[in-house]
Amino acid sequence: MKRDGDMTLSTPKIKSSGIIVEYDDKRALHGIDLDIYPNEVTALIGPSGCGKSTFLRCINRMNDVIDNCKVSGRLMIDDTDVYDPEIDVVELRARVGMVFQKPNPFPKSIYDNVAYGPRIHGLTENKDDMDRIVKKSLKRAGLWDEVSERLDDKALGLSGGQQQRLCIARAIAVNPDILLMDEPCSALDPIATSIIEELINELRERFTIVIVTHSMQQAARVSQKTGYFHLGNIIEYGETNDIFTRPKNEQTEAYISGRIG
């Protein structure tokens, strides 16, 4: 797959057209059209409550578990329709990993946290395979050196930043194509944040990454594309460079420059 910054050269990995989300009768998203390209980091920014998380959760159908949430519209990943009733949601979620705003490791050992996904999907034949996957995932998440000596310790004994990286390792252990990250650094200090940002940069080689963030700097640092959400609409979407240097929309400019619209 060739990547040279030109949108038109590659086909979109995720294609959202007219996605509408309603909580009870309240609309949270008013028809989102968005193409997300492979092996890039796409940042979603916008004021609180504008629907970024809601959109992110549409991609792996995490909204299904919310009783009062109704999704309509069309969302394609490669050639599969995500909202096709025939589709196996479990398989979809194995392809689309998710890292949540708050680190949420299982209250199990570090090893079991990472091994859980591969185990339930039957990705390994034996313990050696599993050990290899766990090691590889922890290495990719930049956590291996810190925990290699205590894989059997409880995950809840790790620091917040380590837990978040563990959650990333857990998500990539099932070898997804797409990684969704909802404000992965919101609870972290600058050092942990920079570790995770570096990580995102490396992971971009293999995954398509969509990241929600409240930090403009972070969006500018890690992403290739940026989308600006406002009150359930996508106002502007394009190359991160363009959005941050010469936004076409006033609202976008106001938000980026700190005058939240």
Partner 1 sequence: MTDQATQTAQSKHLKKRYRAEKRFKFFGLAAICSAAGILLVLLGGLTQMSIPAFTHHYVTLDIAIPETTIPADQVTDPAAMRKVNWRGMVRKTLRNEFPEVTDRRGKRAIGNLLSGGAGDALRDKVLNDPTIIGSTVAVALPLSDDVDLLLKGLIDRSLPEDNRVISDRELTFIDHLEAAGRIDRRIAWFLFTSGDSREAEMAGLRSAAVGTLLTMLVTLLFSFPLGVMAAIYLEEIAPKNRLTDLIEVNINNLAAVPSIVFGLLGLAVFINFFHLPRSAPLVGGMVLALMTLPTIIIATRAALAAVPPSIREAALGVGASPIQVIFHHVLPLAMPGILTGTIIGLAQAAGETAPLLMIGMMAFIVDTPMWIDDKATVLPAQIYMWANNPERAFQAKTAAGIICLMVFLLLMNALAIYLRKKYEKRW
Ligand X SMILES: Nc1ncnc2c1ncn2[C@@H]1O[C@H](COP(=O)(O)OP(=O)(O)OP(=O)(O)O)[C@@H](O)[C@H]1O
Q: Is 53 in the site for Mg ion (CB under 5 A)?
A: yes
* Cβ burial 3-36 (10 Å sphere, 16+ → b, else e): eeeeeeeeebbbbbeebbbeeeeeebbebbebbb
Name, in order, each residue with C-beta under 8 angstroms of 116's C-beta and a sequence gap of 6 or more. Answer: 106, 108, 170
Q: What part of residues 10-49 is at the interface with ligand X (CB under 6 A)?
A: 23, 28, 48-49
Q: Is 235 in the site for ligand X (CB under 6 A)?
A: no
Q: Is 51 in the site for ligand X (CB under 6 A)?
A: yes
Among 27, 30, 74, 121, binds partner 1 (CB under 8 A): 121
Q: What span, in angstroms and rounded, lies between the C-alpha atoms of 28 and 12? A: 24
Q: Quick one: what does residue 51 bind among Mg ion, partner 1, ligand X, none, with the CB cut-off 5 to 8 Å set by partner type?
A: ligand X
- Shortest distance, position 46 Cβ to ligand X, whole Å: 6
- Shortest distance, position 153 Cβ to ligand X, whole Å: 31
Among 16, 39, 42, 54, binds ligand X (CB under 6 A): 54
- Name the residues that contact partner 1, by CB under 8 A: 60, 62, 65, 67, 90-94, 97-100, 102, 104-108, 116-117, 120-121, 154, 167, 170-171, 173-174
